[in-house]
Structure 1
């Protein structure tokens, strides 16, 4: 009875290990499908189930190792079974790490594509806004240029008007000079008139002075 107990325990642990190996293969198939579909979110229960299965298998392998060490008459078949269980567990752990890396890469790629789409969708709005701003600035500059041209045109017109008036005054002065020079003795007559006015003014002043003196003397 005592010799049958280790054998039974070994068989039970081996059956549990094989069942968990098959379960892990099924979970890997689901996990691999999710990774190939480049999904942005994955059911966390799949990863959690795989980690739980690998952990329990590690515990079973450890129990098998303890059982084998305590069995002095262990057969070569048991040693091979334990080595095989460890090998399959190590392969599955590496496969799980690879699938996780592939899935993370798929997530990063999907996020990058989403970001690029958002940038492409937003870029026309930015270009449109920038174009509208450039158009408004161009219109403002054009309006300033038109106003400046109008002011310059008015300044040039005023300058030309002053020039025309100056030319007209010059022509009028020349005509007056020509008219004065064309009348014989005009300057001489004007001179005599001015001399007579001066003489009359002196005579009037003398008479007024004499009247004042007489008034003062007789007064």
Structure 2
């Protein structure tokens, strides 16, 4: 049975027989509420692809390059892929950027500064994997073994930055196993720690994704 939306589309195509399904999808963009289109992104290609995806049509090549996240109300700046979409982190203080086609993501979080570097790495890893009460049901979240967490410290503009790499694993309620590769950075200022995690699914990981995630992490700075 066709949905009302399908029937409306067919009617519109009959009225304009020269209009292909793809052209109709692109034409329909102008009728969609701009607030819905622009939520989380101002990239035209991302907006068009969201419409094409809704119609099950091939998408345009994603926009390339990076955008700078630089909100003067926040203590940090970093770059993220232009085609990614931003969302508020409703679970904790911070912001969430993602490519919703691939599940690649970058999550910025803010929390109380831990007692030392080791505690900071533990906190960053725990938040990356996410507490069980945020997943719900019988999904299992598996923290990586300490031996698989690689960390180092560097200094930029007089501030100490902690970098970490580690795997993570989630077993969903249906038994599906999701593994991710994670790269993170964290720096503290005035008793608050700001951490940025960039990650991608292990089964999709390649050199190109590694370069993107590394770029995000290396661009992160806390204002002096």
TM-score, normalized by length of structure 1? 0.20
The structure in which a higher percent of residues are helix is 1
The structure in which a higher percent of residues are strand is 2
RCO higher in 1 or 2 (8 Å CA, sep ≥ 6)? 1
TM-score, normalized by length of structure 2? 0.20
